[in-house]
Amino acid sequence: MSNLPPKNTCSICAELRDLSLHLHELAAFCDYFENRRVTYVRKKGALIPDQEARTSVIAGWLRLASQIERVDFIHTSFKKLISIVSQSMSSYGLMPNTIH
């Protein structure tokens, strides 16, 4: 990703740093945080431990995202991904914004 803002940006956007830099900083924060939390699935009305969510894994994905210049995706797959991310955020006690 380029560190230069596009030519036709407003004064606020022109002052912001490139998104790839912020993604890399978030990755470093997630590595430092080193949080682990067991995620659960509901089966027959009971919550059963499923897997472990770790911020170090999130850090790896953010670091990868900071190096990507273009992403093409299918809308239905994106909605499924958002659902998974929302569930993960809920397991940490965070309330994600609703995406329509």
| Residue 4 within a domain | no
Domain shared by 41 and 79, yes or no: no
Looking at the domain assignment, is residue 100 inside a domain?
A: yes
The answer to whether the CB of 50 falls within 8 A of the CB of 39 is yes
64 in the same domain as 48: yes
Kindly state whether residues 39 and 60 are assigned to the same domain.
yes
- Look at residue 89 and tell me if it is in a domain: yes
Q: Which domain holds residue 42?
A: 19-69
Domain match, 98 and 58 both: no
86 and 65 within one domain? no
What is the chain's pLDDT, residue by residue, as a tens digit (100 residues)?
A: 455 555 667 777 777 778 888 888 888 888 888 888 888 888 888 888 888 888 888 888 888 888 888 777 677 777 777 777 777 777 766 655 544 4
pLDDT at 18: 81
Which residues 6+ apart lie within 8 Å of 5 measured at CB?
13, 14, 16
What is the reported pTM? 0.50
The reported pLDDT for the residue numbered 97 is 52
Residue at 50 is within a domain: yes
d(CA 85, CA 74): 17
pLDDT on residue 8: 65
**pLDDT confidence of residue 100:** 42
Cα-atom radius of gyration of the chain, to the nearest Å?
17
Query: Are 51 and 82 a contacting pair, CB within 8 Å?
Result: no
Kindly state the tokens that stand for 30.
Answer: 């997630």
Residue type for 18, please?
D
Task: Flag whether 53 is in a domain.
Answer: yes
**Do 23 and 65 have their domain in common?**
yes
| Residue 90, both tokens | 């809920």
What domain count does the chain have?
2
Are 56 and 79 in a shared domain? Answer: no
Which strand (E) or helix (H) includes residue 42?
strand 36-43
